[in-house]
Structure formats: C-alpha cells, structure tokens
Structure 1
Amino acid sequence: MIPHALPQRAHFGRASLAFLGGLALVATGGLAATAGPTYSNSSNNTSEKLRTAVSVDRVAAHLDALDTIALAHGGTRVSGTQGYNDSVDYVVGKLQAAGYKPVVQPFTFPFFQELSPSVLAQTSPEPQVYPAGSFATMTYSGAGDATGPIITVDTTGAVGSTGTSGCEAADFAGFTPGSIALMQRGSCSFAQKASNAEAAGATAAVIFNTGLPGSTGPIAGTLSAPGIGIPMLGASYEVGTGLMGDNVTGHVTTDTISENRETFNVLAETATGNADNVVMVGAHLDSVVAGPGINDNGTGSAAILAVAEAMRKVETVNKVRFAWWGAEEHGLLGAHHYVNDLAASGELARVGLYLNFDMIGSANFGRFVYDGDNSAFPVGPGAAAGPAGSGQIEQDFHNYFAAEGLPSGETAFSGRSDYGPFIARGIPAGGLFTGAEGIKTEEQANLFGGVAGQPYDSCYHAACDDTGNVSVESLDQMSDAIAHLTLTYAMNTSAVNGVGGNEKGNFKQGGPYEGNPLGGGTESGGGLHPEHDHDAELADH
C-alpha cells in the first residue's frame, strides 16, 4: 500500500465537464489512425496491447477536460485555487472509475499571485514613471500603495557595491517611518532586507542591482515565503541610482496575494507487484497562474492517467505507483513533500526508480530523453548527476525510439522538474521532455521536424497554453513511449537496479542507440522556469 494513506479530502464541487468534441491539436506531421482503447476487454500485458489502449484520443480527452476546468476558473489551474482542486477531483474520479483507490495527500505551501502590474515612480524633484521591464515585483511581496520620501539605506550606489545595505537593523538608524527604503543588492537575503525595512517603518522598499556585468537589469527576486506586508520591488541598477539623492520622493504600488495555502498530490498504485521495488511514474498536475497549463503539464498528467486506466487489469511483477504532483510551478513542492515524507518514515528505500513526464506535447517539439549517464550534459551548474541506473533508463528510452524509427536527443537533469527530489536521494530516474522556451536548432529541425530558430513551445507559461498549443504527433509518440517503459519496468527493473526481474518484462527493441550523434539535445530539462533570483543573493549568483 502507499505509505501514510490519507482519507480522501472533502469534495471540492467539481464542475460538470463537457468534452470539447476533439482536441484542437497542432499537427506537425501525419498521424496514423489509432485503434480504440482495449482497456475494458484486455489485460494489456504486452507493450503492443498497452500502447493500443493508450490511444492519443484517450489522452486528448483528458486534456479537453483539464482545459474545460481552466476555462471555468479564470484560465488557470494553479495550485491553491479551485481550478487546481477541480483538476484533482477529475483525476481522482477517473482513477476510481478504473478501479484504483487513489490517495489525496494534502500539504501547505507558500502561494503568491500578482493580481495587477506594479507601479514605480519618482514624484519629485523630477517626476518619472518607470516602465515595465525596468523593475519587477518580488515574489511574496506584500500588497500596498505607498507615497513618500525615498531614503537610501547604507549604500553609495557605486558599481559593484556588494556590501550590507539593509542587512542590519543598525542600517536604518535615523530612518523616517513612512518612507520608502532604497537598498542595493548585497551580501544578505532579500527577505532579510525586507524584514529590516518593514521593522523600521518603511511603507515600501526597492532593491536595485549591483551594476556589475550581467547584474545591471531588474532583479526578479523572491522573499522565499509569505510574511512581508509591504510592497517589495527589484529594480535595475539604472533605476536604483536614479532614485538616489536628497529630497527625492516616490510612489510604489503592488497588488498581490501572498499567503500559505493547502494543495494536494494524488497517488494511486497497482493492486499487484513487489511493494519493496516500486516503479514510480509522475507528472505535475498544476499550471502557472498565467494560463491553463495544457502542454505544461496537462500532457504529462493526461498521458500517465491514460496509462494507469489501461493497466488496471495488468498483473505486475513490481508495484507501479502513479503520482500527480501539486505546486511544481512553485518549486517542485509536491514532490519534495512526498519524498521527504517517505524518507522520514523509512519508506523511500522501497522506491526502485522514478519516471518523470513534464511537457510531452510541445507544438515545435523535440524528442528528448533525460541524460541519465551525463554523457551529453556533464555534471555542473546546469546538470545534476544521474544516480546509478539512470543511464539504463535513458538507454531503454533511446532503444524504444530507435525500434520505432524515431531519432531521439537528450536533455539535462537541470533541476527544473519533479525528478529533482528523487535524484537528490540517489533514486534512478529518467523520462521524456519535448521542450519549453528553448530554441530549436537546425539539427533538431532535421531530426524531429518543425521550425528551426523558434521556441519548442511559444506559449510556455502563457495564457495561450491551451488545447491549441499541443502537437498530436508528439503526444501520440510520447504516450506510447511512456506506456512501453512503464510496462517494461512493471515487469522487470533488474537492468536498472538489479532487482524486480521477470522474463516476460523483457520487451527487447532495437539498439543500442547511443543518443543523438547530430547534437539534438537541450539543456532546459523540464517545465519549471528559473525565473526568480532566490534569497541567497550574490552567494548563489
């Protein structure tokens, strides 16, 4: 059984779901007709049967449902909102209908939403309204409207001044309450500066960049958690130094929600299989605030739901546990919560491997496999080490694609998706990714089709990430690969971790296929955008 099974939460009042009569998918190539699902009349205990059952139409129907939910809730399914809660209810309902006993795992997380654009202006001696793009609202900023003197705190504004501006309460000696604090980025966290400014009576605060090469633009910073009640902005070096001087007054407005909220993971597992060698298959269910999240990551969520439905009668050798993660877009928080919970209970050792599927239908897709052996992306700032066995998972995906006559490239374990907490604990991992904001190369266009020089997903983290933002070709191919490898490891993980073997699980296909010799890789490795500087400030950057 799933460790620490929790009672199902109270019903959220799921909206009535009307399918849209066929997903409006972006076709990037021909799609062969698929047979109807066989999950109702077959055990689906071979790769061919399971892939037939996991038809692209079935996956698309789940995407239609998630898109309908988003449309009913302001165009978003972000964790901590009713749109996400209804997404959870939808997945739970489908799992129950398929005969599973899903577990809904609640956890609290720091929620942040900017409701309208912030304002930064100098009101005297020379009035100036600063344009969007020259400053940014810090994540977890409080909301407010402040007008008053702008007081510089412990900095001369010199280029590269990386001192302790605002880091100590003593920096605010003589600070006039009701004023706006102006600080320069330096050696302590943004949160510490904000806390000191608020304690000194500041009605708002602005932190500007160092002016060093690469650190001149606006700071897209985070305070790490709710708790600061005043507006907090990160500004460019030019804006910050422009606000310095005697008798300067200004105006700052932020319109935000910053609070702790409850959200949920959903977990379900097969009735059969070795519970000491669990094959985990995961995808994040949440979207960003800005959009419905159909490619990112309705596609991964829909695909593994279709696989789970189709596997309901399969007698597995190893237990398979499916996971839909919450609050991934807030920092992989659902997966972190789950892994930490298993580690604390001593159950983590039972997880034999983890497969991650985050964005598998990008309209200008690449066919990328996580680089488990670090052959394409050596360990460094943009690539974590794949634990032992991860290279075999990578090879197995490449072998599958090679057997299907499909070239595949590689993507780094960049820390941008829910595999992160698993590989940090040494669990073998792998999975698929079809690209986010990265730009497709000429080599990749030759390999995968599509348009070179354009993003893999031009609607990444945007309102247009709806059902019109998905490639049916990519969705079909990736869903088949997910089904094949999930069933393979349900029957035999011995090549990955030395246990859980059974000959009927050896679906040998093609290979060996050693990645992509033409350079078809991408560094981005997942759907979480690294869009904020964090509170360790210069020590981390």
Structure 2
Amino acid sequence: MKRFIAALTVTAMVTFGTFGGTGFAQPVEGYKNAGYEAAFDQRVINRINVDYIYNNIDYLQQTPRVAASEEEYAAVQYIKSEFESYGYAADVQAFEFMGFTAPHTVELTVNGDSLSPLPFTYTPSGEVTGELEYAGLGRVGDFDGKNLEGKIALIQRGEISFGDKVFNASRAGAKGVIIFNNTAGNLNGTLGAANDEFVPAVSITQDRGNALVEQLNQGETVTASLTVLGAESGMRTSHNVIASKKPTNKNKDNGKVITVTSHHDSVPGAPGANDNASGTAMVLELARVMKNMPTDTELRFITFGAEELGLIGSRHYVNTLPADELERIEANFNLDMVGSRDAGDLVMRTVNGQANLVTDLAQASSLRLNGEPTPFAQGGSSDHVPFGERGIPAALFIHSPLEPWYHTPEDTIDKISKEKLQDVAQIVGTAVYDYASFDNQGPKPKKQKKQDLPADMYYEESIR
C-alpha cells in the first residue's frame, strides 16, 4: 500500500534520527503528496464532532461506574444504544470474576487513640481487639518464636505481597493485621484475591507504624481495636460492549481486523470523566465517523468492563477468541484518559517498548497533522496489554504526566479539554483509516510474525 509505505518511511527517519537532534521530526518538504494526504485525512477529520465526544463524557461521568455495579451496567446499556443509533448491531458480552465490595466502616484505635486506616481489597469483615505484636515484614520466618494467638499483627510493607503477609499472620494465629507503609503517604493495596484464611487487614502510614514499633520495642503493651464492616467478596458479573463495521465490499475484504478499544468502568468514588469516559466517548465517536466510510478491513469498536480491577474484561475478550479470530486482528488502538486539560502531552505505550504497526500508523498521522510524531515508550496498566501479550501490535494512547485528579472525586467534566479530545481523535481516526481504507495501488503491508509474550508480564500498576 504505497500511501502507508510512505508513512513508514517518514517514521523510520524519525526513529533513526535523520532529521537532526531535536528529538522530533520537522514537516518534510513535499512529503509524499501533501495535497493528497491532506484531502485524504480530511475525510475523517471533517466527520469528527468533538461536542459529541464531550457530551457523551458528560453523560457517563454523572456517577462512578464501578465494575459489576448497577451504574456500570447502566453505562453498558447507554454505550450499546449509542452504537445502535449509528447503525451497528452491538453485542454485550458478559463475564464473571471474583469481585469485592469495599467496607462501609473501617476503624482503628490504638491505646484509645483513633487512627485513620485504609482497607485492603479482599479483606474480610470483622471486629477484633487484642495486643499488637510486631512481625517485621510478615515472612514465615518472622513469626518464629512469637505468640500471635488472639493478637493483632503489626507488619511493615515490603519484600512479599500483602496477601502473603496476611496469610502468614493468620496461620500464626493473628486475628487481625495492620500493615504500615515503607514510604511517605497513604497505602492503598490489595490482597490479590479472596481467601477464607484471611483476617481483617488495614493499612496505616509509615510514621504511625514506626511510632508503634518504637513503643513495642520499649516494652510497652499496646492494645488495638480493629473494625471492618461491609466488606464482601464473591462472584460478580461485568460486561464488554462490541460493535463491528464489516468491510464495505465483501469482494474486497482483506480478512483483517483493527480494534479500537477503551474501558468504561471507573474506580469507587470517582466520576471518571477522564478515566475513562473520555476514551469510551472517543471510541463511540470514531465508530460513528467510520460507519459509512469505505473500508476493506473490519473495524471492531469495543469498550471493556472491569479494567480497573486488573484488565479483566479485555483479558476475557482476548482469551475467549478462537485462534483464527486472534490471527485476523492486525492492530489494537487503545484509548485511556485522552482528554484531561491538566495532564501532559499525548504519548503511546507498548507492552515491550518497541515500535509496531500502531505506533507506525499513529506517528505518520501525527507527523502529517501536527508536524511531529507522537512519542512512545514501554508501559502497561491498560487494555492494550492482553492484545500485546498475544503478539498483536497494540498501543495505549494517554497523556503524560497524569493529571492530579487521577482516581479522585475531582475527575469531572470541567477538567476535560476539547482541544485534546480533538487532537487524539484526529490522530487515531486518520491512522486507523490510513490502514483500513481501500487502496488500489498495492497490497496492505505484511504484518510481522506474531510472538506471544509471557502472560501478565506487562501489567504494571505504577505506569498509571
């Protein structure tokens, strides 16, 4: 496909620095055919309506959309209805997972003083009172020679998982666990999964923990009362929403698929305007824009549930696809947090930090539109990861650094930038169409051989 090959040539020049030492390419005089490229891109750009994106964000961010909640299911139904209003036959894919309902009451008093603990995900409920016993890092050997029966274990963060710390303490006889941070700030953590042997577990700050350790080391008796109420683990149901645009002419169907994805759930307490009503609304708008565009590639628009709990919806989707369907997927464009006025510049993240079809297409697109290619690096923590693990070219589109409102109640519509929405929609829309459009000048570029990556290798919470 000559038009795409020219784009790759420019991207290769950017990658290997033939434009000088600025780090970004400058617009190339007479690149390909500037008039042709501009006219071709305008087919997509002229159809994008940023107000539609903004209004869908506004609708979705009225309430948090926690995975498996009534609010998330209402969002699923809204997304489905929007796809259908554009002329798609949208499918809703249900999936089950072990979920957790956060406690409504979390209290901790030590020698009568009230502290401000935070619960661990998958902690059981319970009300316990007992003496504190310091158990270091909570490793099996840290309990040797200690009598934890009926006591509450005080454990420092580090070296092993929170779940292992609580499990080891429980096995040693503790009826409650307090884990204190090993750095400044609050500790928000998960025990990883539900376990019948867990006991109520909460976190406190480093300063609070060190002060308690000092008291215990001085021989003081320290008594704590720990209350966790309303926590519940069990099977939950969430949903993915899928809408497909088949090739315009079945006689010119190249048999390939491009997926454009986002997640529609949010974290508890956060309206999730940017994370990730913005990505979801952009998927909807690109589906609307592409519905009547002539293509020889299937375009599949998907919003996933339960991303915030560990990419559960996207893993389910990828892992349940037949092998021949996986082989058809040429690329995954994943949109997550694409509209915050207070975040940094647009970047792309791939699971191994290497260029692929998505980064090539998007860099060529942003070079044409903005005069410089969108940079990319390694990164996980979003729904491009399950695709990348299967060897499918995939990239996350996100702004970096993140806004200060990330995962807070302040992630609201007033923080959304229409300019950023317009920019990302244009880059991704023209990049997708660059590949999916009809082109009689030559074949599509050959895809590199897929190579599976280790499962779960690239889920890195610290990226976001």
Q: TM-score range by the shorter chain?
A: 0.7 to 0.9
Q: Can you list the C-alpha shifts for 1:281-331, whole angstroms capped at 9, x where unaligned?
A: 111111111211111111111111111123222342111111101111111
Q: CA deviation at 1:346?
A: 4.9
Q: Which residue of 2 aligns with 1:252?
A: 226
Gaps in structure 2 of 5+ consecutive residues = 1-38, 450-457
Instruction: Give the count of matched residue pairs.
Output: 403
Deviation at 1:150, TM superposition (A): 2.2
Q: Which residue of 2 aligns with 1:413?
A: 378
Query: Relative to structure 1, is the Cα distance of residues 88 and 341 closer, same or farther in structure 2, using a 3 angstrom cutoff?
Result: same
Query: Equivalents in 2 of 1:217, 1:57: separation in Å?
Result: 39
Give the aligned residue type for 1:164: V
Secondary structure of 1:329's match?
coil
Q: Which one-letter code corresponds to 1:203 in the other structure? A: K
CA distance in 1, matches of 2:334, 2:255: 20
Alignment of 1:194-273 (within 5 A): 194-198=166-170, 202-208=174-180, 219-228=187-196, 230-235=199-204, 236=206, 237-239=209-211, 241-242=213-214, 244=216, 245=219, 247-259=221-233, 260-272=235-247
Q: Choose the corresponding residue for 1:192, options 149, 164, 171.
A: 164
C-alpha distance after superposition, 1:93-126 (max 9, x if no partner):
1112222121211112333354557333322xxx
Whether contact under 8 Å (1:151, 1:180) holds in the other structure is yes
Give the one of 469, 473, 479 matched to 2:425: 479
Counterpart secondary structure, 1:338: helix
- Equivalent runs, 1:268-283 vs 2, <5 Å: 268-272=243-247, 274=253, 276-283=255-262
**Aligned match of 1:515:** none
Change (3 A) 1:464 1:218: closer
**Structure-1 residue corresponding to 2:462:** 530
Whether 1:288 aligns to 2:267 is yes
Contact kept? 2:246, 2:297, Cα under 8 Å? no
1:107/1:337 contact within 8 Å kept: yes
Show the counterpart of 1:48: 42
2:128 paired residue number: 146
Q: Does the 8 Å CA contact 2:348/2:377 hold for their aligned counterparts?
A: yes
Q: Which residue of 1 aligns with 2:92?
A: 104
Question: Paired residue for 1:351, among 329, 335, 342?
Answer: 329
Structure 1 match to 2:340: 362
Identify the residue that residue 494 of structure 1 maps to in structure 2.
444
Contact 2:365 2:373 in 1 (8 A): no
- In 1, Cα distance between the equivalents of 2:51 and 2:169? 55
Partner of 1:335: 314
Deviations 1:256-305 (A, max 9, x none): 53423110111111132647421111111111112111111111111111
Distance in 1 of aligned mates of 2:238 and 2:129: 36
Shift of 1:204: 1.5
Q: CA RMSD in A?
A: 3.3
Q: Distance in 2 between matches of 1:527 and 1:164?
A: 27
* TM alignment of 1:429-448, pairs within 5 A: 429-435=394-400, 438=401
Q: Is 1:176 matched up with 2:149?
A: yes
Q: Give the match for residue 441 of structure 1.
A: none
| Structure richer in helix, relative to its length | 2
The C-alpha deviation readout for 1:161-191, integer Å capped at 9, x for no partner, is: 6853568xxx5985433x3233455665432
The change in CA–CA distance for 1:199 and 1:528 in structure 2 (over 3 A counts) is closer
The CA distance in 2 between the partners of 1:313 and 1:242, in whole Å, is 69
Q: Deviations over 1:34-64 (max 9, x none)?
A: xxxxxxxxxxx95423322221112122112
- Shift in Å at residue 528 of structure 1? 8.5
Distance 2:241 2:130 in 1: 48
Look up the match of 1:129. Answer: 114
1:146 match: secondary structure? strand
Say if 2:384 and 2:394, in contact at 8 Å, map to a contact too. yes
Q: Could you tell me how far apart the structure 1 residues matched to 2:55 and 2:174 are? A: 52
Query: What code does the residue aligned with 2:413 have?
Result: T
Q: CA contact under 8 A between 1:111 and 1:257: conserved in structure 2?
A: no
Residue type at the aligned position of 1:400: S
Q: 1:197 to 1:243 in 2, by over 3 A?
A: farther
Distance 1:468 1:406 in 2: 29
Q: 1:358: how far off?
A: 0.8
Distance change (3 Å), C-alpha of 1:121 and 1:91: same
Which 5+ residue runs of structure 1 have no aligned equivalent? 1-44, 71-75, 373-383, 439-455, 500-525, 533-541
The reply to whether residue 119 of structure 1 matches residue 95 of structure 2 is no
Report the 3-state secondary structure (helix = DSSP H, G, I; strand = E; otherwise coil) of the residue aligned with 2:406.
coil
The residue identity in structure 2 corresponding to 1:225 is A
Deviations 1:236-262 (A, max 9, x none): 351551463563211222345342311
Distance 2:152 2:40 in 1: 66
2:368 is equivalent to residue 396 of structure 1: no
| Contact kept in structure 2, 1:296 and 1:461, CA below 8 Å | yes
Q: TM-score by structure 1 length?
A: 0.66
